[in-house]
Amino acid sequence: MERRGLSLAEIQEVPKNSLILLVGPPGAGKSTFCHQVVLNSVASERPVIFVTTEQGPSEIIGLLREKGLGEPSPGAVSFVDAFTETVGLSCTQRPDTVCANCVDLNSISIATTRLQERMGQRGILLAFDSLTSPYLFSGGEIVKFMRLFLSRFAAEGNSVVALVDEGSGKSEDLVAMMSIADGVIKMEIEEDKRLLNVVKHPKVRPTRIEVPMTPSIGIEAYVPDPSMTRQFVQAMLREDEAWMRREVGDFVNLFWPTLAHWSGMLWDPKRFPMMTYELNKEDPRYMMRESKASFPWQMRLLLKLAPKDFSKVKEMKKASKLGIPYIKMAHFERSGVVEYLEDLSRTDEHYFRVYESSDCWGFENIGATMASHLPPLFAGSYKGIESEERNWNAVETKCIGLGDPYCEFKVVPGEIDELKDSLEKDASVIERIHDRLMDRLLGFLLDGKPPVERPRLGSDVQLHAVWHAMGSALSSERYRMAQRMGGAKSGKEVGERLMDAGLNEDGAIKRVIDFMNYCKVGKITLVETIRLEGNCESLCMKFFTPKPEEPSCYFTTGFLNGLFSAVKNQHVRETRCIAAGDPYCEWEIA
């Protein structure tokens, strides 16, 4: 007979000699569950080893303190930091912290064993948040790691709670992981609540628990620099192609931001695309609603002529002829050739066609819609321009990625039922996209083939389109983590493929540096350090935040670190950054 009335607290007590696996999509509450398990262990004076692969130990301690952690006794919580070094940051060994690397599962085993030996006892809780990161580097090897290390660690009188994202890998690997675990709790989100399904458990019969939740996308403070906004709009009006970067110009080969975007998608194929959509919708909404006063007079006049309500087809047609909301900008930044489809549109349902979309070009017949830039920008613009702010949304209805000859999207004031399904991607689709990106990149590195070409618009896009693909100025910490780890994986894979192709270490590094210069990422040089002038990624932070920031080249640092770790067994760390007020970005190699 099934037990009823089971509480959340009961399943947050992990039995000894047990490995409990938490499974669910990103955002389902797995980390929150794990943090509560850790707090319970600290409260009962049970020592904890926390393996972190998606944040640094200081961030974890901060989150635990937000949830009620006081000042733990010495040795109460120790860390295996498998995040910091992986993404090219500096990991400091301390009595309570041992450094490891997500790329190397053996390093995680050794670091955990070292901490266990220091503690000199059993009954330890091992919290592993999460297995997704090392899985995306090592694939099916994670199953062997669970069987040979995590299960053995639990069997020695300890407890293990490990997290893994559902949908981030092959279904057969997830089934194998669940079969190894002593307990499996599947977590999911349904409207305004989290559902916890206890699939199996050493102490509890299968059951289901509902927990209320407050959804959040995670957009941080949006603080554009008014003077930079004015200069940017002026540059667009006069079609200045070298406003911010006089030496290399303000256009970047679209392959680079595309690689950054889809590398981040590897880490979070369910939540990352929705975060990107909301970020890209918020930018034009804020610009049109809050920053109009900083626009030059020509742009203010244009907006004055624009309709104050975009419901009717005739008003949308009028706006489109003026190049509003984004048709003129799309032309300038070369993100696509856009036309309004008057015959297809009707009141409160408008259709636009895009030729040579920068999001979708090169992904013909990939099996999914691809656009993440123009549709939400149009929606956000209408929301910001209209006198009565309505929640406009946009979704692709045709796409090169689906085999269509061009892309189309519809824009409506209100929710779109199919939007979420259109944005989210299955792991198999992400894998196909990643493989195509790697093939095109290696085609350039080994054979000199251009990674992308468009017949009318060429291969480049303006910095504004680059920033919307890389997204770091407005993004949440989760988004930045996906960029860091995605960059590390892509850089590592490129390095491994170049070495497999027979290149020597210096030759492999030189080809990638040459590729970054070809893409006009900035002006990059390699001597004793890596120096990048005019870095397209950090300029985003300079544009959006007038105050100096810490180094913020999340994708670039991850990519370089993955490359050097694969080719030379070295790591890179960003020591200077344009976003922090330095004249260039620079990484030391160690």
Same domain, 250 and 139: no
CA distance 127 to 149: 14
To the nearest 10°, the Cα dihedral for 294, 297, 298, 301?
Answer: 100
Q: Is residue 1 part of a domain?
A: no
Residues 6+ apart with CB under 8 A from 548: 579, 580, 581
Domain of 372, in residue numbers: 226-589
Same domain, 528 and 407: yes
Same domain, 465 and 350: yes
Q: Is residue 331 part of a domain?
A: yes
Q: Is residue 219 part of a domain?
A: no
Q: What is the pLDDT of residue 434?
A: 94
**HSE of 30 in the Cβ direction (CA atoms, 13 Å)?**
27
User: Are the CB atoms for 341 and 353 separated by under 8 Å?
Assistant: yes
**HSE of 123 in the Cβ direction (CA atoms, 13 Å)?**
8
Q: What is the pLDDT of residue 362?
A: 93
Same domain, 117 and 45: yes
- Mark which of 212, 247, 267 sits at the end of a domain: 212
Same domain, 163 and 251: no
Same domain, 436 and 572: yes
Structure tokens that stand for 474 in this block: 């407005």
H-run or E-run covering 585: strand 585-589
Same domain, 185 and 236: no
User: Are the CB atoms for 78 and 103 separated by under 8 Å?
Assistant: no
Whether omega for the bond prior to residue 325 falls within 30 degrees of 0, making it cis, is: yes
Same domain, 194 and 307: no
- Mark which of 155, 190, 212 sits at the end of a domain: 212
User: Are the CB atoms for 515 and 441 separated by under 8 Å?
Assistant: yes
Q: Is residue 301 part of a domain?
A: yes
User: Are the CB atoms for 100 and 115 separated by under 8 Å?
Assistant: no
Residues 6+ apart with CB under 8 A from 290: none
3-state secondary structure of 280: helix
Q: What is the pLDDT of residue 471?
A: 66
Parallel, antiparallel, or unpaired for β 97-99 and 350-355?
A: unpaired
CA distance 201 to 138: 27
User: Are the CB atoms for 275 and 475 separated by under 8 Å?
Assistant: yes
Q: Is residue 151 part of a domain?
A: yes
CATH number, domain of 106, equals 3.40.50.300
Q: How many domains, in total, are found in the chain?
A: 2
Q: What is the pLDDT of residue 184?
A: 96
Q: Is residue 217 part of a domain?
A: no
User: Are the CB atoms for 407 and 352 separated by under 8 Å?
Assistant: no
- Mark which of 190, 212, 234 sits at the end of a domain: 212
Q: Is residue 255 part of a domain?
A: yes
The DSSP code for 206 is S
Q: Is residue 221 part of a domain?
A: no
**Residue-by-residue pLDDT tens, the chain, 590 positions:** 333 445 677 788 899 999 999 999 887 889 989 998 998 888 778 899 999 999 899 999 888 888 777 776 777 899 999 999 998 888 888 889 999 999 999 999 999 999 999 888 889 999 999 999 999 899 999 999 999 999 999 999 999 999 999 877 788 999 999 999 999 999 988 767 888 999 999 988 888 888 776 444 444 445 566 666 677 777 776 777 887 888 899 999 999 999 999 998 887 777 778 888 888 888 777 776 656 666 666 667 777 777 788 999 999 998 888 888 778 888 989 999 999 999 999 999 999 999 999 999 999 999 999 999 999 999 998 888 888 889 999 999 999 999 999 999 999 999 999 999 999 888 889 889 999 999 999 999 999 999 999 999 999 999 988 988 886 555 567 777 788 888 989 999 999 999 999 999 999 999 999 999 999 999 999 999 999 999 999 887 666 655 556 678 889 999 999 999 999 988 888 999 988 889 999 999 98
**Residue for token pair 């297809």:** 344
Residue 290: Cβ within 10 Å count: 14
Same domain, 355 and 434: yes
Residue 571: Cβ within 10 Å count: 23
Same domain, 230 and 208: no
What is the helix, strand, coil percentage profile of the chain, to 5? 45, 20, 40
CA distance 390 to 207: 42
3-state secondary structure of 572: strand
Q: What is the pLDDT of residue 76?
A: 86
H-run or E-run covering 394: strand 392-398
Same domain, 129 and 181: yes
Same domain, 50 and 153: yes
